[in-house]
Each structure stands twice: as C-alpha cells, then as structure tokens.
Amino acid sequence: MGRIDKKFEELKDAGKKALITFVTAGDPEPSATPRLVKAMEEAGADIIELGVPYSDPIAEGPIIQESSARALRYGIRLGDIFNYVSEIRKTSEIPILLLLYYNCIFKYGIERFFEECANAGVDGIIVPDLPVEERDDIKSVSESKGIPVITLIAPTSKERMERIVKEAKGFVYCVSSLGVTGMREEFHKNLAEFVSEIHKYTNTARAIGFGISTPEQVKTIRDFSEGVIVGSAIVKRIGEAGSVDEAAESVLSFVSELRKALDE
C-alpha cells in the first residue's frame, strides 16, 4: 500500500478528513520548499501537492501564475524539485504529489520522469491538461513505478463520470467550480450531489479542490468528501510574506486554522 492509500486508511479509522495543501516548488525562493512542507505538516496537513513552475499554467489563476513566475526567475526545474522531495524524505513520510503539465513530463522523458519520481519518493502526480482518454502514453510506466496519476473530474463531466473515475487511484480530485484555480466565495450549486455520485463508480477517496480558501468554507464542504484541497490561499500568503521565515510562520498559522475547522 502506497503512502496516499495508507494515509486515507489512517484518517478513515480515526474518523477524520484529509487536509491536502499546495505550494509552488521554489517559491518564494529555492531554499523555501522543504521548510514550507515541514510547516504544513506540523500544522496538520496530511498530503502535500508541489506545483511544478510552468510558463503557461492554463488551469491556474493569477495567484499561482505569479508564484510560478517567481520560482522560474530562479531557474527552478524538475531536477531541483526531485531534490526537494529527496530532502523532505530524510525526515518525513508525508505523501507528496507533483502537479504539473504534460509537456513537462514529455520533454523530461516519460520513463526518466517516473523513474526519478520513484527514486525521490514522489507518491503521485496531477496533470490538469491530460484527459483520461489520453493517458495511454504514461499509464503503463506510471503503474510499473507505483506512481498513480490522480484523476480530476469537474461538475460538467457528469455524462463521462463512470469512464473518468472507474480506474481512479490515490484519490479523485473533485473540482468544486468551473474555471481556473483561485479563491472563491461560492462553489458549484450541485457540489454535494456531484461528489456523492462519484461513489457509484469507485470507492476511491474523494477530495474537493479549486477555490477553497477559508476555514469557514472548509466547514461548509467537509462532509461532502474524504478530503479538502487548499492551494491559492496558501500561495497568496507566501507571496505576501517578506521573508522565508515570515512565509513559514504565516503558512503554519493558516494551515493550523484549516485543520481545526476540518476537525471540529
């Protein structure tokens, strides 16, 4: 059993929900990533997503786009991110996912990419621009290395839901609202129904993301799934911090608030 499945089993046994948090690797500077991961874990995060900086992140809103730009100014590349994960693995077994675009994998080399994921200790990947119908190029390699490709599904995909989620591994990433990532005040009006219907076709854990930005919103949607995902609200705090020390303190405080809201 991989780290992701093990974590969801542990949380289920404890009657708790997964808190999945996101930061862009290399933001606000190269040395920050392992420290920010440590802060989030200490604050109660269960799974970490590391965003791979990309020049054209089509699924991301302005906050994460700006964080990618900050990281790219330092020349952050996949090799650096594998080094971050290897460093984190010296002291932590928290599940770590990479969120990246397919071109990054293709240019790096599919076999090489998954080999490096396995060597570093990456537990799964999220590829927003790779529909389930187009995964054949990476499916066999990802499965052979034990690195699941996390399935994303949006409320607009209801007619294709069975096909999309029936082979899901790790967890199903349930997109809470349409458009790009970013903080929102409202979610899709039929979110609870949409997420509930997923379990007609898979028993894989479900986690809701895109737009969740406050403890109050966590309380609103926590009963709909097995986990919640928070990204832009954390990245915003990192971007506003004046130093890595300040960023780590801000992230620890905010993630602690999210954890408390999830557990209340």
- Give the C-alpha separation, 215 to 16, whole Å: 16
**Domain contains 59:** yes
Q: Look at the alpha carbons of 82, 57, 20, 237 in this order and tell me if their dihedral is positive or negative.
A: positive
Residue 180 confidence (pLDDT): 43
Query: For 79-102, what is the HEC assignment?
Result: HHHHHHHHHHHCCCCCCEEEECCH
pLDDT 10s digits, 86-129: 999 999 999 999 999 999 999 999 999 999 999 999 999 999 99
Residue 185 inside a domain? The answer is no
What are the beta bridge partners of residue 175? 209
State the pLDDT at residue 157: 85
Task: Please give the tally of structural domains in the chain.
Answer: 1
Residue 87 inside a domain? The answer is: yes
Domain-embedded: residue 211: no
Instruction: Please report which confidence band the pLDDT of residue 189 belongs to, taking 50, 70 and 90 as the band edges.
Output: low
Q: Kindly report the pTM of this predicted structure.
A: 0.94
The amino acid present at 147, given as its one-letter code, is: I
Q: Is the pLDDT of residue 23 over 90?
A: yes
Residue of 219, 156, 154, 211 whose CA lies nearest to 185: 211
Q: What is the CATH number of the domain that holds 43?
A: 3.20.20.70
Residue 236, pLDDT > 90, answer yes
Q: Is residue 168 in a domain?
A: no
Lowest-pLDDT range of 107-111, 176-180, 187-191, 243-247:
176-180
Confidence band for 59, pLDDT divided at 50, 70 and 90: low
The answer to whether residue 188 sits within a structural domain is no
The answer to whether residue 208 is domain-embedded is no
Residue-number span of the structural domain to which 228 is assigned = 3-148+221-259
- DSSP sequence for 9-48: HHHHHHT--EEEEEEETT-SSTTHHHHHHHHHHHHT-SEE
Nearest CA to 201 out of 223, 168, 154, 152 is that of 168
Within-domain flag for 60? yes
